[in-house]
Amino acid sequence: MQCERGATLEDWNTFRIPATAAYRILCTHPDELQLLPEILPTAELPLLVLGNGSNVLFTENYPGIVLRASFRGIRCVEEDPDSICVEAAAGESWHEFVHTCLQRGWHGLENLALIPGTVGAAPVHNIGAYGVEVAQCLESVRVWDSVTHEFRWIPTTELALSYRTSALRTAWLGKVVVTHVRFRLRRAVQPSWDYPELKEYLTALGILKPTPEDIFHAVCALRRRKLPDPTDFPNAGSFFRNPIVPVEHAEELQRRYPTMPCFPHGDSAVKIPAGWLLEHCGWKNIRRGNVGTWKRHALVVINHGATSGREILRFAATLWRSVYNYFGIALEPEVLIVPAVAWQPWED
Ligand code: EPU
């Protein structure tokens, strides 16, 4: 375990904001978590767990413990003729894990290729892409409870998983550290390729019965084409969630904007792409000082050199007000803003 006081978080977040942490801790084995209360007054310090920091925006220095759990290991826990239960440690790279599963013939995660971040962060944000959410393949999550100092397994049913969120991101944020995640994967090949952009891409290649490998490669190609690499253009993926609005509201908007894409969300709601709303407000490939939106995707906010998260936050608040004033839709950040109270976009 490495514990540093007042260390910078610049390399610990993909926005590359040089905020500091009162204590920056790197754990390489879950047992080290038990040492934490012995060396630090954990009960008095706020705790923030990071994977790769690819979904966080620091708007000030963090007054507590920022912990990275870089535990490694992938193993098959149990298998039957139809499925496999796979356990991966929280610090494994998400993309490498997806690739390993594909190579071993364990199916279900291929649509989630190339999502930045770690295995441990996947259930926290219920990561999703191209028509699949990780919730569909999750079985349970092992956590260390920073209040009771005990390890326990939490079944998926208790995680309150929904679109890009879970109890790990809300009620249990700062209270538990994910150490391992178990997934239930299929042996059978049941490709999910209804997502319009994916279907179009595969069809154009003449692939009409895609294998999981085809989907994996297509998703990688689509993501590389559309989304910026945070190493070259610091960013945290989609800055906002796609808003979910009642069907009536979406229908009214579609009468005014017939080209607006809509995705059904349950029986009475519709998900509207925030990227489309932002582009429609003129926000694609726009730069204001050190912050901007990506040239091929308006939902991705790029840090072109800001050294304070507040500068990025101010820019995001401008985007928020624009969509609110034009469409009457209040976007919610997908990026975890730390501290959360900093997000008050209605104030100019
Ligand atoms: N669109 C625009 N203009 C833009 C961006 C998008 O008109 O600037 C339109 C697209 O043409 C498309 C629709 O909006 O018709 C949806 O766009 P896209 O397929 O790029 O997906 P998204 O809804 O913007 C979501 C996830 C992504 C994930 C993609 C692919 C959220 C908040 N984001 O984006 O996840 O990769 O679907 O499935 O749900 C992330 O979470 O960080 C992330 C990148």
In ligand 1, the atom with minimum distance to the C-alpha of 237 is 42
Predicted local distance difference test score (pLDDT) of residue 57: 98
In ligand 1, the atom with minimum distance to the C-alpha of 131 is 38
Query: Is 228 a pocket residue for ligand 1 (Cβ < 6 Å)?
Result: no
In ligand 1, the atom with minimum distance to the C-alpha of 197 is 19
Query: Is 95 a pocket residue for ligand 1 (Cβ < 6 Å)?
Result: no
Centroid of ligand 1 to alpha carbon of 6 (angstroms) = 37
Predicted local distance difference test score (pLDDT) of residue 302: 98
Centroid of ligand 1 to alpha carbon of 142 (angstroms) = 30
Among 175, 178, 199, CA closest to 120: 178
Q: What are the tokens at 345? A: 């976009």
Low-confidence ranges of the chain (pLDDT < 50): none
Burial letters for 210-244: b for 16+ Cβ neighbours within 10 Å, e otherwise? Answer: bebebbbbbbbebbeeebbebeebbbbbbbbbbbb
Phi, psi dihedrals of residue 296, rounded to the nearest 5°: -110, 5
| 166 has catalytic annotation | no
Which one of 94, 98, 229, 276 would you pick to mutate in the ligand 1 pocket, going by the greatest count of ligand atoms within 8 A of its CB? 276
Query: Is 129 a pocket residue for ligand 1 (Cβ < 6 Å)?
Result: yes
- Using only C-alpha atoms, what is the Rg of the chain? 20
| 150 has catalytic annotation | no
CB 284 within 8 A of CB 297: yes
Centroid of ligand 1 to alpha carbon of 273 (angstroms) = 6
In ligand 1, the atom with minimum distance to the C-alpha of 297 is 8
Centroid of ligand 1 to alpha carbon of 276 (angstroms) = 8
| 238 has catalytic annotation | yes
Centroid of ligand 1 to alpha carbon of 81 (angstroms) = 36
Output the residue whose Cα is nearest ligand 1's atom 3.
276
Predicted local distance difference test score (pLDDT) of residue 194: 95
Predicted local distance difference test score (pLDDT) of residue 156: 97
Give dist(CA 232, CA 243) in Å, integer. Answer: 28
Predicted local distance difference test score (pLDDT) of residue 348: 78
Query: Is 299 a pocket residue for ligand 1 (Cβ < 6 Å)?
Result: yes
Predicted local distance difference test score (pLDDT) of residue 153: 98
Give dist(CA 210, CA 212) in Å, integer. Answer: 7
The reported pTM is 0.97
Centroid of ligand 1 to alpha carbon of 134 (angstroms) = 17
Distances (CA, A) of 319 to 116, 168, 293: 24, 27, 10
Predicted local distance difference test score (pLDDT) of residue 42: 85
No. of H helices and E strands in the chain?
Answer: 8, 20
Q: What are the tokens at 272? A: 């509207």
Beta-sheet pairing, 176-186 with 83-89: antiparallel
